[in-house]
Amino acid sequence: MRTLNDVPRRLVVAIGGNAVHPEDIRGTSEEQKSVAQITAEALLPLAQLDNELVITHGNGPVVGKIMMRQMLTMSRIPPMDMDICVAHSQGGIGYLLMQAIENALREQGNQRHVASLLTQVEVDKDDPAFKNPTKFVGPFFSEDEARKIGAELNWAMREDSGRGWRHVVPSPKPKHVCDISLVDALVKRGTIVIAGGGGGVPVVRDARGVRTGVPAVIDKDLTSAHIANVLGIEELLILTAVPRVAVNFGKPNKRDLDQVSLEEIKAYHREGHFPPGSMGPKVDAAIRFLEGGGKRAIISHLDCAMAALRGETGTHVVQ
């Protein structure tokens, strides 16, 4: 267990999409503000440290609702491309988190600034993900509802880890976070930076350097790992809806993982313990982060952020 003095002074914290838009809310403005305030209170102990802090967040529930909203009104209002929908969700979520975290800091007499950067992330135009949509976005539906919506809107729908059916979209791997130097400059001057929201706005770049948006939603945990690796940050904290990663989840012989080596978690992953629609992307990100030079990836519950960082809870994946 680490003391406060041992807590890393450079950190990337990745917040799940359900931490900014839980499944059990309708999504009103007041609900979203309330959820952002709860998230800010959970992150406050980290925000009050003298550290370099980058925060990323998911957007799956929100971007899915944006896309559904415009599909249902397309006879009157032309729909936006998916990359613009991602940008809309990134801006809205970033605004709410930025304001909530600054407000929480001000209530403690802390004048630290928070900045939310609209972030483009380059992907490979030939990434096989474009031919195999796997990223779940939007609300849950019954199988009958999903089939009707899929037929009506020409959407790919898939069952999500036994929780219901959802819309799936392409999720290419991040290659380059555009303007990562700006993130670096801001965190070094003490600003808390919210970047790579929703995995970043997906773009491709041609030989001249011209960028164009593409229809996809990048996994935010993979983008978080990439940001940490590029900035040379050695610890990645992935916050989700469970306190620890488990093997044999949902079975009588379920076992929570405390500290686990990179090779051990890769072996568990190969055995199929981490479904693509739930824990799989987080474990993928932890593996990619450590293979890219990171020292420790921690997966835990949002409410346990500081406790996990101190080693009191969470799954710690180490070299």
Catalytic residue annotation: 17-18, 135, 220, 282
- How many Cβ atoms sit within 10 Å of the Cβ of residue 5? 5
- C-alpha pair distances (Å), 46 with each of 11, 40, 43, 103, 194: 9, 10, 5, 15, 14
Distance CA 88, CA 59 (A): 10
Task: Using alpha carbons, list the distances in angstroms from residue 246 to 17, 198, 215, 224, 279.
Answer: 20, 25, 33, 22, 9
Pairing of strands 176-177, 120-122: antiparallel
Strand segments, DSSP code E, in the chain are 10-15, 52-57, 114-116, 120-122, 135-141, 157-159, 165-169, 176-177, 192-194, 201-205, 211-213, 235-240, 246-247, 255-256, 259-261, 296-301, 315-318
Taking the CA atoms of residue 274, residue 130, residue 195 and residue 82 in that order, the dihedral angle to the nearest 10 degrees is -120
Supply the DSSP symbol for 125.
T
Q: What SS3 state is found at 157?
A: strand
